Structure formats: structure tokens, C-alpha cells
Amino acid sequence: MSDPFLIGDAMTGGYGKGPDILHGCTIAAEKGEIAVIVGPNGAGKSTAMKAVFGMLNVNSGSVRLDGEDITRLTPQERVVKGMGFVPQTSNIFTSMTVEENLEMGAFIRRDDFRDTMTQIYDLFPILKEKRNQAAGELSGGQRQQVAVGRALMTKPKVLMLDEPTAGVSPIVMDELFDRIIEVARTGIPILMVEQNARQALEIADKAYVLVQGRNAHTGTGKELLADEEVRRSFLGG
Amino acid sequence: MDYLNALVAFLNFVFVPGLAYGAQLAIGALGVTLIYGILRFSNFAHGDTMAFGTAMTIIGTNALLALGITFGPLPTALLALPFGIGATILLVLFIDWLVYKFYRDQKAKPVILVIVSMGVMFVMNGVVRFIIGVRDIQFADGERFLITARDFKEMTGLDEGLAIKTTQAITVVVALIAMALLFWFLNKTRTGKSMRAFSDNEDLALLSGINPDWVVKVTWMIVAALATTAGVLYGLDKSFKAFTYFQLLLPIFAAAIVGGLGNPLGAIAGGFVIAFSEVTITYAWKKVLVYLLPENLEPDGLVQLMSTDYKFAVSFAILIIVLLFKPTGLFKGQSV
């Protein structure tokens, strides 16, 4: 089997000199697919994603993007390589306008990025309407759209979202998921950590259930939804 | 009652000096606020950076005068200002490389950087005195007045005169230009926007590929330019003395904090708030009140709320009052 587009392979590691949080954890995303990481609180979901993005020490195992080993690169270097990352919190420049947020997203690009901005405004029409407003004045759901839009400005080859629906209402959550599916349809693989396991599994092409930093279950979203054990342990029956 | 004369006296003794002083504080506070917003510490060496820039400008001015070059009716110091700015930029970049970079790389807490900046302050304090001495230096030349009190009286036939010093007019004009340039830079250019982004959310700025070293360098350069400009304007308007500049740190910090640390617009507003409160509270209002009140109510005393010796107390009283009601300053600043 050929390597997936993005893979964090058998990663073991933790923050700084602290104890290991991940133990041989493997996470991958294929082109045009949505991969989600779910699991109970403290399972290392966000940690696994941060490991893939280079924000903590991976002591063993490797991270590969499009066949290239990027395990030793800094997060900034990974952005240049084509990884887009939307952190869970503080993921926008609150004092800057929506448009300036998008411009900052495109900071590493030296070419004309107006086309990309137009595409993002097409994807998130509300942002076009509010483009001259300070991003900090927007609602939670709109902020998340700014955050995703900012990450898309580099035209990333893969997009990583850390709990994009944290703290938004169920209606806004559905809308955000719709948008994420749209982004995936443009061919960008998406790796996403989600708290709302059921909804996330419904849209997932590939899903990873982590427990205590280890892969507990892996499969398509539908398989895991149907899996008796997964249902019992994480989805409440 | 004579409203017109009262108004002229008010303009002459309160408004015009307050406006010029406010503009000087505002440019000084802009430097403090930029360092706070981007390098995330209160730079106690700012007053001495102003003193250094002014000292360099004075040396440049003397050199120009020795060569027989003057700026006509305007002070020669304005011609020497670019030299002063250049020298100050080199100095602050050197200090950053020598001192602050070490602590930045260690991710030192802001409070440590504050203490470090105090050390830098004492060193610069000495360096400036070593270079230019401790005495009072007048370096304004050219035309002294735009309008003298006597000309004004002759023109209008009023009892009160309105004198506008050239240096006051220059202060306001130069301050406006400096502020316009700064805001254009911060809001319209790629580097300026990246500085705002860095100030807003450092982690996300790094994720977006903004180069922190470049942002820090540009910040120091702008701060050096602002500090030198503020120092030269203050020195032209009053006089240069190393110790006075060290003391200026207090109202400048008050201005930056009242406006909201990290917020450039706040620094400007804060500068004028502090300047006008200092001037209005330490001014002897008798002259104005004489025109406004009927003869039998005429005040006997000077109607000066506080002696000018207490002017720094005024800054701090304003500071405390504002922070009690708006903890992040008049404009939304970063919380301290």
C-alpha cells in the first residue's frame, strides 16, 4: 500500500521534557478525504494533531507529507511545505479586519493572492460582507470561518483543524461541517480533531479513535458508527 | 466681562503650550506603546533613548552650523534630525542585539525585560551625559516666533497677546506628519500589518510565517525615529538637559497607559490628556478669570490649583483615575 498523503507514523512523544503522551500513535489523511480524530477527554487528540504539525517532540516515529519526511521541521517550515493549521483557540487576529486576517494568512506568498481571497469569500459569503470589520467583533461561528479562511490563504496541500466547532451552537456547527465538506471537495485533505464525535464520524471518510495516546479503533466513519464497542464507549449507546 | 481677552489669554497660556507639550508626549508615548505591543515589555530606557537621539541631533546641528549651513527661519536641528535618527537606530539595534535578544531567546518574562530595560536606562543615562554633558543646552535657532504677543495685540487691538513660538508650530506639524506616516505604515504596508498581527497574536503570526526577527528590527527602528523626533521637538521647545529627559519618562508612561498600552491611537490621546491636565492644573488662572468674572468677584490669589513642581503628581492622579474606571486605558489596550 502506498503512503497516504499526510501521515504521522507510529508517533511517540510529549511536550518538552515531560512524559510521553502519545504511544505509537498513527494518523493519516488521504487526498480529498476528511480524517477525524475522536476520543474521550485527555486521550491525546489535540496532542496527536500537534505532533503531526511539529508542535511537540516526536521521540520515535515519523511524519511524512507527500512522501517527504518532515519530522524534524518546525511548524513554520511545515506551513511553507503546504500544511495549513487552525488552532483551537486564539486562531484569529482579533484587532484586525477580516480582510487583513486573510492577508496575514497569505503572508508567505509573494504572488498575487486576490484569486484565493475571492475563492474564500465565495466559500464563506458572510466574510465578504464583514470584510472591513474587526474579526474580534464577529460571532463564534464567523470567527471560525475567518480562522479556516486564514489557513486556506496559503493554498495548503492539507488542512488541519483542531476542534473547529468548540463552543459554537449546534446549528452553527452543522453549517461549519458543511463548509468543511466543501473544502474537502476541492481536493484538500482534511485532518480534524472533534469533540462532537457522532457528527464528526458522520462526515468522516477515515476516523481514528484514540484512548490514552494509543490508536484504539480505526476505520471509515460509518464503520466506527456501527461498531458496537465504539458506540458504547464514546457515543453513549 | 471680556470673553475675547479671556479666550486669547487661555489660548496663549494653556491651549498652545498644552498642544505642543501633548504632541511631544504623544510621539514619546507612541514609542513606548509600540515596544509594549510588539516586544511585550515596558521600556524604561525610552526617556534616555530620546535623550541620546537629541544629543546626536545637537552634535549634528553644531556640525552643520560650523559648516555655515542653516535652515533659514527654521531651526537647523530639523536638518540634523535624520542624522540623529540614524545614530539612534544604530544604537538601539546594537542594544537589542547585545542585551534584549539574549532574554528574548530565553523567552524571559516581561517583568525581567522591564528590569533589564532599567539597566539599559542607567547605562544610556551615563553614556548621554558622557557625550554631551549635564548642563542645559539651548539649540533652537532661526526665527523665534511665528506671531509675537506684541504683533498680535497690534493686529487685533486686544489687551491680551497670543504668542506662537516657531518651535510650537513645528512640533505640531512634525507630530502630525510622524503620526500620519506611522498610521499609514501600520495600516497599509505589508510589514506594518505583520507588526500589528504580531502584536495581536504572536503564535498565530509565527504560524502565518511572519518573521519575528524582522518585526522586532523594524519596531526598534520606528521607535528610535519616534523617540529622537519627540526628544528633539521637546528640546527645541524648551531646552535639552539629560536629567529632564529621564524625568519625561513618567508623563510618557502615564500617557501610554492612560491611552491603553499597545494601542497607538491611545498613546496619542493619552499624550494630550496628560499634557492638558498638567497644564490646566498647574496654570495660574487668575489672568483668565479677571476677564470673566465681575470686578467684585475678582480672585485675590493666583487660582493655581497646584504648583508646577507637582506636575508629575497630576499625571499619576489622572493615570489612577482612568485605570480605576477603564483598566485597559481609554482605548482598548492590552491588559497589563
Return the pLDDT at B291. 85
Shortest CB distance from A104 goes to which of B197, B203, B332? B197
List of residues 6+ apart from B118 with CB closer than 8 A: B44, B45
Q: Are A16 and A59 in contact (CB under 8 A)?
A: no
Which residue in the set B193, B194, B206 is minimally distant from A76, CB to CB?
Answer: B206
Count of other CB atoms within 10 angstroms of residue A10 = 15
User: Would you call A237 exposed, middle or buried from its count of C-beta atoms within 10 A (0-12, 13-18, 19+)?
Assistant: exposed
Provide the pLDDT confidence category of residue A104 given band limits of 50, 70 and 90.
very high
Domains, chain A, with CATH or none:
1-73+192-237 (3.40.50.300)
DSSP A2: P
Give per-residue pLDDT as tens, B225-274.
999 999 999 999 999 999 999 999 999 999 999 999 989 999 999 999 99
Rounded Cα–Cα distance for residues A24 and A209 (Å)? 14
CATH number of B3-325: 1.10.3470
Chain B CB contacts of A95 below 8 Å: 196, 199-200, 332
Taking the Cβ of residue B204 and every Cβ of chain A, the question of whether any pair is shorter than 8 Å is answered with yes
Q: Is B215 on the interface with A (CB under 8 A)?
A: no
Q: What are phi and psi of B163, to 5 degrees?
A: -100, 130
Query: Does any CB of chain A come closer than 8 Å to the CB of residue B207?
Result: yes
Q: Residue B297's pLDDT is what? A: 81
Question: Is beta strand B145-147 parallel, antiparallel or unpaired with respect to B164-165?
Answer: antiparallel
N-term to C-term CA, chain A: 34
What's the Cα-to-Cα distance from B62 to each of B4, B29, B66, B69, B108, rounded to whole Å?
43, 28, 6, 10, 42
Angle between helices B264-282 and B16-38 (to 10 degrees): 140
**Chain B stretch 183-202, residues whose beta carbon is closer than 8 A to a beta carbon of chain A:** 190, 193-194, 196-197, 199-201
Q: Tell whether B230 lies on the interface with A, counting CB pairs under 8 A.
A: no
Does B336 score more than 70 pLDDT?
no
Per-residue pLDDT reduced to its tens digit, A130-167: 999 999 999 989 999 999 999 999 999 999 999 998 88
> Å from A76 to nearest chain B CA?
6
Give the phi and the psi of residue B301 in degrees, each rounded to 5: -80, -170
Reported confidence tier of residue A2, pLDDT bands at 50, 70, 90:
low
Where does the pLDDT of residue B319 fall: very low under 50, low under 70, confident under 90, or very high at 90 and above? confident
B198 min Cα distance to partner chain A (Å) = 9
Entry pTM: 0.89
Inter-chain touch B208–A87, beta carbons under 8 Å = no
Q: Identify the band that residue B224 occupies on the pLDDT scale cut at 50, 70 and 90.
A: very high
Nearest chain A residue to B186, by CA = A96
Residue B84 class from Cβ within 10 Å (0-12 exposed, 13-18 middle, 19+ buried)?
buried
Closest-CA distance of chain A to residue B39, Å: 17
CA of A105 vs chain B CAs: smallest distance (Å): 5
Establish if A93 touches chain B: CB-CB under 8 angstroms.
yes
Question: pLDDT digit string (tens) for B82-124?
Answer: 999 999 999 999 999 999 999 999 999 999 999 999 999 999 9
CB distance from A77 to chain B under 8 Å?
A: no
Mean pLDDT calculated for residue range A18-27: 90
For residues A138-149, one letter each, b for 16 or more C-beta atoms within 10 angstroms of the residue's C-beta and e for the rest, the string is beebbbbbbbbb
Nearest CA in chain B to A94: B200
Interface membership of A161 toward B (CB under 8 Å):
no
- pLDDT for B311: 84
Query: B124 with B45: CB under 8 angstroms?
Result: yes
B117 near A CB under 8 A: no
d(Cα A100, Cα A93) in Å, to the nearest integer?
Answer: 9
